[in-house]
Chain A
Amino acid sequence: MMAVARRTLFRGWVLLAYMVIFAPVVMIVTISFFQQEIVSFPPDGLTLRWYWNAWQRPEFARGFVSSLQIAALATLIGVPIGTAAALALVRSPLPGRGAFNSLLLGPLAVPGVVCGAALYMFYVRAENFLDQDITATLGGLIAAHTLLTIPWTVRLVAASLQGLDRAAEEAAANLGARPFTVFRRITLPMMRPGIVAASMFSFIQSFENLDLTMLLVGPGRSTLPVAMLSYLEFRIDPTLAAVATVQILLVGILMAVTDRFVKLSRVI
């Protein structure tokens, strides 16, 4: 009896925890279908007009495309760099590896606004020096977001490398494979779950980043989160909920697709 009661209690707690986690998500998705402009319960009716509204506003469409572009390119650049760094950190007998590791993971600990402000000041100086626009350019944003992707990549790839059976690499060498062949045929495929997870995390990190990006965007060059924030300054209708719902859906699909290649529960 006691065991049953205890198990029921435990399940109750788990359910409660999930409800707390999912409540905001469920709320946002629900609100995006409410008819009235100022949110109130119960809704006057359900509608898709906020989705239509979001679709029609150019700043969201443009922000969405920018965000996609930046996230994809930052991931493409950051993941190889982070992977190389992780390899060096885990594998080489480099002196001062601990310090390197802290340096690479540093951006995780520094608030985004601080990073953004520092980058902004750096960009302004670089602009003066190079006589070339950097802030509010696609290149400037991609470079900044690449910095966001590296710490995640280093963490995830290093974790997957640490769990990797080095005997498999030795076995390949024993069977006649030269070091580069061992890396290409054995090490890299075995690192794949870590790299895929790192790519996904990097993409999401970049795609949803607001605090760092806010300081680096300019007229005509904005990302989706920044566009959403600007919209919020003037209006608070459920259009934002509609945009957020689309975003949630997108990230959900991305995770589901990734999970088909690599079981996410094994790397995170």
Chain B
Amino acid sequence: MAQLKLSNLAKHFGAAVAVEHVDLEVRDGELVALLGPSGCGKTTTLRMVAGFVEPTAGQILIGGKDVTHAPPYARDTGMVFQSYALFPHMSVAQNVAFGLEMRRMGRAEREQGVLEALKLVKLDHLAERLPRELSGGQQQRVALARALAVNPSVFLLDEPLSNLDAKLRSEVRLQIRSLQQRLGLTTLIVTHDQEEALTMADRLVVMDRGKVLQVGTAEELYERPANAFVAGFVGRCNLISGFVDPGGVFRTDWGGEFAVPQESAPGKAIFALRPERVALRPGTGHGIPGRISAITYLGSLSEYHVDVSGNSFLVSMPPPPNDSPLRCLKIGDQVSLTWDVAAVRLLPFEPSSNQGEEP
């Protein structure tokens, strides 16, 4: 059953369109991530679900009940804000108790609820502290506990990890995910961080300029992106515009010729190839010739930027073993690139696609 259902949801601010034609179902216990660059409408969508933004058109159903025009306090959602939004004048316990108090819960029951929620995030020993006496990570967990304490039908997370440092972020990411799975929470999370979305979500919704571009699992989006934006935003991708000629060869705008899968339809298209699907060999004569313009060592991966007729090609692979000839490659060296034709995707041509760059 769809615990949360958005149909044809739209929000216009005057003439500006923030969100348009959003259709989405979040199933019971599922975690769905809204992913996109800033200004893509993901936060506006989340705020419409919470009731802070009045939709211009469309419908929001929570647990089958139409809440499109219900005020925030009448919706059964639990939200975690980017800034945590803790009540600075209340202790941790009072913060967590607030929602239970609003539900007119008795004192004993309330204390029980607070304790349970704080135990979930392992903060029961800090119940009497004030928010400002806690670290950022602890404040974030209080915000989680506060939203969880009311046992909401839908759990909403607005960029919950963006104020944490990198190490803490991956830790909290796992904690949130395991909590969500253990409690079977129907969850909608907003993020601009593709890694966060890929690791946490059952399904991802990629948005750009107010529109949903593609909905699918991490694997679906990575392996079969619907367009160049998704290909560039979810993972990294070499994207080259050109056209497929009737002979089944892709001709780039700068005159290169690449083989493409047999069944490719002729016409304008974007050639997409993941950097880890490209093989690189020293010297010329084995494939597309190029020259190394930069090498980035990332520990578990090495990235090679290869200049092919003035266009940069990204190739990534695990660092080559010590005896490999690839080991001594340096900037300016001639190399040749090859790939399996089956790894190539041809995506619809879009004149003004900005390939997943932050604006």
Complexed CA–CA distance, A181 and B86 (Å): 16
Q: Does B146 contact A (CB under 8 A)?
A: yes
16 extra interface residue pairs, beta carbon distance < 8 Å, beyond A175-B102, A175-B146, A177-B98? A167-B82, A170-B50, A170-B79, A170-B85, A171-B85, A171-B146, A172-B98, A174-B50, A174-B77, A174-B78, A175-B98, A175-B99, A176-B103, A177-B73, A190-B89, A192-B89
Q: Identify the closest chain B residue to A192 (Cβ).
A: B89
Which residues in A have their C-beta under 8 angstroms from that of B81?
A: 167, 170-171
Complexed CA–CA distance, A167 and B99 (Å): 15
From residue A166, how far is it (CB to closest CB) to chain B in Å? 9
Known: A176-B99, A176-B150. A167 touches B83 (CB 8 A): yes
Complexed CA–CA distance, A165 and B77 (Å): 20
Which residues in B have their C-beta under 8 angstroms from that of A181?
A: 102
Q: Does B299 contact A (CB under 8 A)?
A: no
Q: Does B287 contact A (CB under 8 A)?
A: no
| Contacts across chains A and B counted by CB atoms under 8 Å | 66
Jot down 29 A-B pairs with beta carbons below 8 A, ordered by A. Answer: A165-B85, A168-B88, A170-B50, A170-B72, A170-B85, A171-B86, A171-B87, A171-B143, A173-B51, A173-B72, A174-B51, A174-B75, A174-B147, A175-B73, A175-B78, A175-B98, A175-B99, A175-B102, A175-B146, A175-B147, A175-B150, A176-B99, A176-B103, A177-B102, A178-B73, A186-B87, A189-B87, A190-B87, A192-B89
Q: Identify the closest chain A residue to B52 (Cβ).
A: A170
Q: Identify the closest chain B residue to A172 (Cβ).
A: B98
Which residues in B have their C-beta under 8 angstroms from that of A178?
A: 71, 73
Which residues in A have their C-beta under 8 angstroms from that of B73?
A: 173-178
Tell me how many residues of A have a C-beta within 8 Å of chain B. 18
Task: Give residues of chain A (157-208) contacting chain B, Cβ–Cβ below 8 Å.
Answer: 165, 167-168, 170-178, 181, 185-186, 189-190, 192
From residue A165, how far is it (CB to closest CB) to chain B in Å? 6
Task: Give residues of chain A (187-244) contacting chain B, Cβ–Cβ below 8 Å.
Answer: 189-190, 192
Known: A177-B102, A178-B73, A181-B102. A172 touches B79 (CB 8 A): no
Counting chain B CB atoms within 10 Å of each CB, which of A165, A175, A178 scores highest? A175
Known: A175-B99, A178-B73. A165 touches B83 (CB 8 A): yes
Tell me how many residues of B have a C-beta within 8 Å of chain A. 26
Point out the residue from B52, B75, B86 that lies within 8 Å of A168, measured CB to CB. Answer: B86
Q: Identify the closest chain B residue to A177 (Cβ).
A: B102
Complexed CA–CA distance, A185 and B86 (Å): 13
Task: Give residues of chain B (47-83) contacting chain A, Cβ–Cβ below 8 Å.
Answer: 50-52, 71-73, 75, 77-79, 81-83
Known: A175-B99, A176-B103, A181-B102. A168 touches B150 (CB 8 A): no
Complexed CA–CA distance, A171 and B88 (Å): 12
From residue B126, how far is it (CB to closest CB) to chain A in Å? 19
Which residues in A have their C-beta under 8 angstroms from that of B71?
A: 173, 178
Complexed CA–CA distance, A186 and B146 (Å): 15
Complexed CA–CA distance, A167 and B50 (Å): 12
Q: Which 7 A-B pairs have the closest CB atoms?
A: A176-B102, A175-B99, A167-B85, A171-B85, A173-B72, A189-B89, A167-B81
Q: Identify the closest chain B residue to A164 (Cβ).
A: B88
From residue B34, how far is it (CB to closest CB) to chain A in Å? 18
Task: Give residues of chain A (99-152) contacting chain B, Cβ–Cβ below 8 Å.
Answer: none
Q: Identify the closest chain A residue to B76 (Cβ).
A: A176
Complexed CA–CA distance, A203 and B51 (Å): 42
Which residues in A have their C-beta under 8 angstroms from that of B72?
A: 170, 173-174
Which residues in B have their C-beta under 8 angstroms from that of A170?
A: 50, 52, 72, 79, 81, 85
Complexed CA–CA distance, A65 and B75 (Å): 55
Q: Identify the closest chain B residue to A181 (Cβ).
A: B102
Flag if B99 contacts A168 (CB, 8 Å): no
Q: Identify the closest chain B residue to A176 (Cβ).
A: B102
From residue A178, how far is it (CB to closest CB) to chain B in Å? 5
Complexed CA–CA distance, A173 and B146 (Å): 13
Which residues in A have their C-beta under 8 angstroms from that of B82?
A: 167
Q: Identify the closest chain A residue to B79 (Cβ).
A: A174
From residue B270, how far is it (CB to closest CB) to chain A in Å? 40
Complexed CA–CA distance, A75 and B73 (Å): 35
Point out the residue from A165, A171, A185, A189 that lies within 8 Å of B79, measured CB to CB. Answer: A171
Complexed CA–CA distance, A207 and B98 (Å): 41
Which residues in A have their C-beta under 8 angstroms from that of B147?
A: 174-175
From residue A189, how far is it (CB to closest CB) to chain B in Å? 4
Which residues in A have their C-beta under 8 angstroms from that of B143?
A: 171
From residue B139, how far is it (CB to closest CB) to chain A in Å? 12
Complexed CA–CA distance, A174 and B87 (Å): 13
Complexed CA–CA distance, A74 and B289 (Å): 84
From residue B233, how far is it (CB to closest CB) to chain A in Å? 27
Task: Give residues of chain B (76-112) contacting chain A, Cβ–Cβ below 8 Å.
Answer: 77-79, 81-83, 85-89, 98-99, 102-103
Task: Give residues of chain A (12-57) contacting chain B, Cβ–Cβ below 8 Å.
Answer: none
As a 0/1 sequence over residues 72 to 110 of chain A, the CB contacts with chain B under 8 angstroms (1 = contact) are 000000000000000000000000000000000000000
Task: Give residues of chain B (154-200) contacting chain A, Cβ–Cβ below 8 Å.
Answer: none
Complexed CA–CA distance, A43 and B103 (Å): 72
From residue A219, how far is it (CB to closest CB) to chain B in Å? 49
Complexed CA–CA distance, A90 and B50 (Å): 24
From residue B110, how far is it (CB to closest CB) to chain A in Å? 13
Complexed CA–CA distance, A190 and B86 (Å): 11
From residue B118, how far is it (CB to closest CB) to chain A in Å? 16
Which residues in A have their C-beta under 8 angstroms from that of B52?
A: 170, 173
Complexed CA–CA distance, A181 and B73 (Å): 11
Complexed CA–CA distance, A174 and B143 (Å): 12
Complexed CA–CA distance, A190 and B85 (Å): 12
